[in-house]
Amino acid sequence: MKRSGEDRPGRIKSRRAYTGKVISLDVDTVRFPDGSVGELEMVRHPGASAVVPFLSDPAGGDPQVLLIRQYRYAAEGYLYEIPAGRLNPEENPRDCALRELKEETGCSAEHVDELFTMYTTPGFTDEKIHLFMATGLTSGETKHEADEFLELQPMPLSRALQMIQAGEIQDSKTALGLLFAAGFRASR
């Protein structure tokens, strides 16, 4: 049975409840796949990019990756992460990844390859993170934001993978980015 435009799943209307520096909160009236209607609170986010930086050739032996250990208030402590940040209006995700790599680690990359794009938590936010892999890094100066408290943590990829397995890396974009790079890109 074909549905008319009026009874297809999706947003019927939306009301902005909050607008902040990083996110906005909408209350959406939604038609669900079974035809019922309800309200959902949706966190709106402009999206972000993240990058798995390789300090050595990812195809050679046990390559070195560059992680950051960053204080995160929401996590009540420090997390191991790959460099990442919010997209500026109209910014290309690849350019964002390069900008964040430079700001957070001081490094520039000779090569940047797209890995994939993921939803962070689609149950309540539309945030997407575009993940990349960077190689051919050259060091430079960092440019941290006022609320960024981080230190660089170079390590062998095998150590980072062990940290995921042991639950020491708890940031989802970092775990997934490292696993994806290790499984689908580093061995090629």
Q: CA 116 to CA 128: how far, in whole Å?
A: 10
| DSSP class per residue in 41-72 | EEEE---EEEEEEBSS-TTSSS-EEEEEEEEE
Taking Cα atoms as reference points, which of 131, 137, 124, 134 lies closest to residue 174? Answer: 131
Task: List the catalytic residue out of 110, 114, 148, 168.
Answer: 148
Q: How many Å is the maximal CA-CA distance in the chain?
A: 60
| DSSP class per residue in 136-183 | EEE-------TT--EEEEEEEHHHHHHHHHTT----HHHHHHHHHIII
Annotation marks residue 148 as catalytic: yes
Q: CA 65 to CA 49: how far, in whole Å?
A: 17
Assigned token pair, 37:
């209607």
Positions marked catalytic? 148
